[in-house]
Structure 1
Amino acid sequence: MTAALLLMIFGEILTIYSEVYASKLPGKPLETPLMFLRPIVLICIAGTCLVFAYWLGYKGTGNIWIVTVVSITLLLILEPIVIYAMLKELPERGALIGFFLGAAGLVAAVAL
């Protein structure tokens, strides 16, 4: 179960990093498609980690919903941390409200 959690954390961080990295690339993709090579390779590694994390998590718990909730919770926790670490940007009011409503929805789904 620990291996599944570690793979999931690593996979989620790499996924977020790849997405944010790609979003900040300059230029036009058709003119310089190789600029996407790094985020594509990283997201492939991330996807492999997440596939094995889900597999190990399901084998360990026998319940895909537990694995899914852990994944969503990690994403909810890790995404703001990685974005802030990379860009030093804080969410504006609308995004912050959406973040808290999403967190409340996740808590409701787990608790109810």
Structure 2
Amino acid sequence: MITALALMTFGEILTIYSEVYASKLESQPMETPLMFLKPILLISIAGTSLIFAYWLGYKATGNIWVVTVASLTLLLILEPIVIYAMLKELPERGALIGFFLGATGLIATITL
């Protein structure tokens, strides 16, 4: 299970990084399509990591919902950290409210 969580953490961080990196690219894809090579390669590695994390997590727990909640929880924790580390941007009011409502829904899923 520890290996699954480590792979999941690595995969989620790399996925978020790839998405944010691609969102900040300056040119149009048709002008310089190779600029998307780095985020495509990184997200491919991330996807492979996440697939193995889900596989190992399911083998360890026997319950896909435990693995899914672990993934969502990691995403909820890691996404704001990675975005702030990369862009130094804080969420505005609407996004912050949405974040807290999402966190509340996740907590309800785990506890109820």
Q: TM-score, normalised by structure 1?
A: 0.99
Q: How many residues are paired up? A: 112
Q: Which residue in 2 is equivalent to 1:67?
A: 67
Q: Which residue in 1 is equivalent to 2:111?
A: 111
- Whether 1:87 aligns to 2:83 is no
Q: CA deviation at 1:60?
A: 0.2
Aligned partner of 1:30: which letter? M
Q: Which residue in 1 is equivalent to 2:57?
A: 57
What secondary structure, in the 3-state scheme, does the structure 2 residue paired with 1:10 have? Answer: helix
Q: Which residue in 2 is equivalent to 1:98?
A: 98
The one-character-per-residue Cα deviations of 1:42-97 (angstroms, maximum 9, x if unpaired) are 00000000000000000000000000000000000000000000000000000000
The unaligned stretches of length 5 or more in structure 1 are: none
- Cα distance in 2 for partners of 1:40, 1:3 equals 24
Q: Which residue in 2 is equivalent to 1:20?
A: 20
- Cα distance in 2 for partners of 1:61, 1:30 equals 45
- Cα distance in 2 for partners of 1:46, 1:22 equals 15
The alignment-based identity, stated in percent, is 80
Q: TM-score, normalised by structure 2?
A: 0.99
Q: CA-atom RMSD, angstroms?
A: 0.3
The unaligned stretches of length 5 or more in structure 2 are: none
Aligned partner of 1:83: which letter? I
